[in-house]
Homo-oligomer: A and B are copies of this chain.
Amino acid sequence: MTDQPDIMANDGGVGDGPAGVDTRHGIELDLGRGARRGYPEAVYCEGKTPDQVGRIAGLVAEAAIGSTHPGTTLFTRAGAEHRSAVLAALPDAFVDERARLLAWPPVPPEPTGGLVVVAAAGTSDQAVALEAAHTARFLGRTVESVDDIGIAGVHRTLARVNLLRSAAAIVVVAGMDGALPGLVAGLVPAPVIAVPTSVGYGAAFEGIAALLTMLNACAPGVAVVNIDNGYGAGHMAAQIARHAPPMS
């Protein structure tokens, strides 16, 4: 006998929407997602009006009433107006303007699993690297950040080898030629999540050059997320490091 889909059963019903979907206020919050996937949903702010984001933040506040350990909610790609709207509903939220990210409750859960290292090739890649690092932290991992270890000065990367080798998952953020993830992957046992950034000019084509470099990395152990997608990389790294021992 084949296994049975339990997707419907897993989601607790809320309101008059389908199981696990709260349709109040015209916005669908996927509150069943934590149960289904083990990680909370993030609110992608770009393309939403500040008003919509504010209403979502209100729903989050409301849902947490009476809960002693509400799950973390992340707000990503938040501009200044989105930020204000979230803070109106969740005044004590954690904020990092440079990473355009907010998190609530403001303190990450006690870390479990293996170490996540987030490495940025250059100064201009730091905003995306921060988004990745915060995401992994708020999903429950210990995170170490390394900056400015681009391939043009390879001794800088080599100087970090011991740290890189102790990671359970590594996020490498790089624009321009995007060569760093392949270099790192050749030095370590952990899987590398590569994040191309739109940093560069001319034939960098807003991150396409870095994206292609990463997809063609000669060393195995590299997989790629969308350009500038620090959130996705941090999420993936947190998932990967979940079962690893604290120090590899």
Contact = CB atoms under 8 A, between A and B. Distances in A.
Nearest first, the 7 A-B pairs at minimum CB distance are A202-B227, A47-B124, A18-B159, A223-B223, A3-B162, A179-B179, A209-B212
A122 interface: yes
How many of these chains are in the complex?
8
Contacts of A160: 2-3, 5
Contacts of A33: 153
Contacts of A1: 16
> Chain A: interface residue count, which band?
35 or more
Given A2-B160, A177-B182, A204-B226, 15 more contacts: A4-B162, A5-B159, A7-B161, A27-B148, A39-B220, A47-B122, A52-B123, A154-B186, A177-B213, A179-B179, A183-B183, A189-B239, A203-B211, A220-B235, A223-B224
A6 interface: yes
A232 B182 CA distance: 12
A168 interface: yes
A155 B220 contact: no
Contacts of A28: 147-148, 156
Interface in A8-58: 8, 11, 16-21, 26-28, 30, 33, 36-39, 42, 46-48, 52
